[in-house]
């Protein structure tokens, strides 16, 4: 029996949240039976980088890994401007320790690096020296890829990372990890939205 936590993804939101980075991910999760709930530091509204105001569904201290299938962290100027978003990185640690996956793109990867979560996991980001500037110890584990999934050790959650120019590849990794599409449809989805391959549409429609 599938529980609600198996079909709920949590999207972290904060001021200057890079709203374009997870549009594909959240839209297609919602279209495939997932509920996407937003999580802020508090329940006070935040303003995205695109100027949109979002009212978080819950505050960070209300979020429990056991109630979630995935935590999504996007870029924001706050990741590289002090420790204001560090609580989200600490929450990511709790998710991974509980065996629940985390997906981080753009500046959120630097937040995870500062938290020490990339020291022992293969990962990617905008570019290697961006993460190196955090002083983290995981440089040898950096992968030159558009997006990457580290499955983690037994009992720990998988970790997806991506750079800021790869929202489609980021979504592909999320869908693969959660089993949203089978391999054939996942390939078609990526070809349609990344390569504008119209022939992939028929595969997605099951024809």
Give me 148's structure tokens: 């990457």
CB 73 within 8 A of CB 105: yes
| Cα–Cα distance for residue pair 130/107, rounded to 1 Å | 9
CB 36 within 8 A of CB 69: no
Residue 187 CA, chain-centre distance (Å), reads 19
Nearest to 77 by CA among 142, 16, 144: 16
Known active-site residue 106: yes
User: Which among 106, 118, 169, 200 is annotated as catalytic?
Assistant: 106
- Return the active site residues: 106
């Amino acid at each position: 029996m599938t529980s609600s936590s198996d079909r709920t993804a949590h999207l972290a939101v904060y001021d200057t949240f890079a709203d374009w980075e997870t549009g594909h991910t959240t839209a297609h999760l919602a279209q495939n039976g997932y509920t996407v709930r937003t999580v802020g530091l508090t329940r006070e509204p935040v303003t995205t980088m695109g100027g949109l105001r979002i009212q978080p569904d819950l505050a960070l201290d209300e979020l429990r890994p056991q109630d979630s299938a995935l935590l999504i962290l996007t870029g924001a100027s706050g990741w590289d401007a002090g420790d204001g978003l560090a609580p989200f990185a600490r929450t990511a640690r709790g998710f991974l320790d509980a065996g629940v996956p985390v997906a981080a793109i753009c500046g959120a990867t630097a937040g995870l690096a500062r938290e020490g979560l990339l020291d022992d996991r293969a990962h990617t980001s905008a570019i290697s020296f961006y993460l190196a500037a955090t002083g983290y110890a995981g440089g040898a584990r950096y992968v030159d890829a558009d997006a990457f999934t580290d499955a983690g050790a037994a009992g720990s959650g998988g970790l997806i990372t991506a750079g800021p120019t790869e929202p489609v590849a980021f979504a592909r990794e999320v869908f693969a990890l959660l089993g949203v599409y089978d391999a054939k449809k996942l390939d078609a989805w990526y070809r349609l939205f990344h390569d504008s391959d119209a022939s992939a549409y028929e595969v997605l429609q099951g024809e």
